């Protein structure tokens, strides 16, 4: 029997000690995301025989994340299936990337059925691409950045520190008013997660940057490592009245992330047409498909 416990901010070391050493680039495995969104999913975890196991509820259905770790994966998956039976609910598992789908198929043939949703694909970029914007494919991005520099000579990019949190929250509030967060539940939930993350910035292990124009905050962004080579970018907000602010904060953050991180995961587009277009325009190196799995006998 797996003994799950509610995930708290004090569990950072227990979780990141496993995820940071994994090859998994999935944005859902960032500790900041796990912690700051747990209000919505009731996230629980357990560490079993070297595997990190995550259990949560989505649309009021019990679900698991594909286990993270090394060892007897078949045994762990069988324990998850048994746990779902003990809870009296169908087995449902998220975060199964394509290579894992193949591995599970070999370990447990004809046991699980896999499917995916394009809206929840992760956009993974080369950090150097976003930092340098080299080549013809980034010409339009360079044009936006150069226009910003010509238009706003008095600008500054600095790290997010405790003293700058309130400014970030005020910009988020202005952004929310402009985008009517109160009427869009998804944005309201995002605001709650973002506010928690900013108010627990250092405890979560986040890092980020603020862009100032003429002494006033114009944009901010933050994230944290997902694994040893992938850095997750969780939030990016800008004053849309300042043309090029999004392009510049994106590039500056990529420039300031330690060089050990080869990839930047800028998360999903959630099926939002404008967001998908914007994310594709930055030429992702990987579109990380995350399948979900059900028992064939349940279908």
Spatial distance between the Cα atoms of 257 and 264, rounded to a whole number of angstroms = 9
Spatial distance between the Cα atoms of 65 and 100, rounded to a whole number of angstroms = 12
List the 207-213 sheet strands across, edge first. Answer: 155-159, 207-213, 216-225, 230-238, 263-265, 122-126, 286-288
Residues 267 and 294 grouped into a single domain: no
Residues 134 and 256 grouped into a single domain: yes
Q: Are 97 and 227 contacting, i.e. CB atoms less than 8 angstroms apart?
A: no
Q: 46-100, pLDDT tens digit by residue?
A: 999 999 999 999 999 999 999 999 999 999 999 999 999 999 999 999 999 999 9
| H or E element that contains 177 | helix 165-179
| Model pLDDT, residue 182 | 64
Residues 111 and 126 grouped into a single domain: no
Residues 170 and 238 grouped into a single domain: yes
Of 234, 256, 282, 265, give the one whose Cα is nearest residue 156: 256
| Model pLDDT, residue 175 | 84
Residues 27 and 143 grouped into a single domain: no
Mean pLDDT of the chain: 95
Could you tell me where the DSSP H helices lie in the chain?
12-19, 31-36, 38-41, 73-86, 98-107, 127-132, 139-151, 165-179, 185-199, 201-204, 245-256, 273-281
Phi, psi of 261, deg, nearest 5: -90, 110
Structural domains of the chain, count:
2
Residues 177 and 149 grouped into a single domain: yes
Both tokens assigned to 203: 């405890």
Of 37, 101, 36, 95, give the one whose Cα is nearest residue 65: 95
| Model pLDDT, residue 72 | 96
| Model pLDDT, residue 299 | 55
Residues 107 and 189 grouped into a single domain: no
| Model pLDDT, residue 188 | 77
| Residues of the domain holding 69 | 5-118+290-298
CA atoms within 13 A on the CB side of 135: 7
In this model, does residue 176 exceed pLDDT 90?
A: no
What CATH code is carried by the domain that includes residue 84? 3.40.630.30
Spatial distance between the Cα atoms of 145 and 133, rounded to a whole number of angstroms = 10
Residues 161 and 151 grouped into a single domain: yes
Q: 2-53, pLDDT tens digit by residue?
A: 999 999 999 999 999 999 999 999 999 999 999 999 999 999 999 999 999 9
| Model pLDDT, residue 180 | 73
Residues 245 and 171 grouped into a single domain: yes
| Model pLDDT, residue 230 | 98
Q: 180-239, pLDDT tens digit by residue?
A: 776 565 677 888 999 999 999 999 999 999 999 999 999 999 999 999 999 999 999 999
Phi, psi of 236, deg, nearest 5: -145, 115
Residues 218 and 267 grouped into a single domain: yes
Mean pLDDT of 289-296: 96
| Model pLDDT, residue 298 | 74
Residues 284 and 141 grouped into a single domain: yes
Q: Are 231 and 205 contacting, i.e. CB atoms less than 8 angstroms apart?
A: no
Residues 253 and 217 grouped into a single domain: yes
Please report where in the chains the tokens 């985008």 appear, as a residue. Answer: 179
pTM metric for this prediction: 0.95
For residue 297, what pLDDT band results from cuts at 50, 70 and 90? confident
């Amino acid at each position: 029997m797996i003994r799950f416990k509610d995930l708290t901010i004090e569990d950072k070391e227990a979780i990141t000690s496993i995820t940071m050493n994994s090859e998994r680039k999935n944005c859902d495995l960032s500790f900041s995301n796990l912690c700051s969104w747990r209000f919505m999913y009731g996230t629980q975890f357990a560490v079993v025989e070297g595997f990190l196991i995550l259990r949560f509820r989505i649309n009021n259905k019990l679900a698991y994340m594909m286990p993270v770790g090394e060892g007897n994966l078949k045994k762990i998956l069988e324990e998850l299936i048994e746990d779902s039976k003990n809870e009296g609910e169908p087995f449902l598992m998220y975060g199964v990337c394509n290579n894992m789908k193949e591995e599970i198929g070999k370990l447990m043939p004809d046991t699980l059925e896999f499917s995916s949703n394009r809206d929840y694909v992760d956009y993974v970029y080369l950090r150097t691409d976003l930092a340098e914007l080299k080549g013809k494919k980034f010409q339009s991005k360079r044009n936006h950045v150069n226009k910003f520099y010509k238009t706003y000579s008095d600008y500054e990019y600095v790290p997010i520190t405790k003293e700058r949190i309130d400014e970030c929250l005020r910009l988020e509030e202005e952004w929310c008013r402009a985008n009517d967060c109160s009427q869009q539940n998804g944005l309201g939930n995002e605001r709650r997660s973002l506010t928690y993350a900013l108010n627990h910035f250092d405890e979560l292990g986040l890092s980020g940057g603020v862009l100032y124009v003429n002494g006033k905050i114009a944009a901010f962004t933050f994230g944290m490592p997902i694994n040893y080579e992938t850095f997750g970018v969780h939030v990016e907000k800008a004053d849309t009245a300042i043309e090029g602010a999004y392009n510049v904060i994106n590039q500056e953050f990529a420039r300031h992330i330690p060089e050990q991180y080869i990839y930047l995961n800028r998360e999903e587009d959630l099926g939002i047409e404008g967001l998908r277009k914007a994310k594709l325009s930055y030429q992702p190196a990987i579109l990380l498909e995350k399948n979900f799995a059900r028992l064939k006998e349940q279908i």
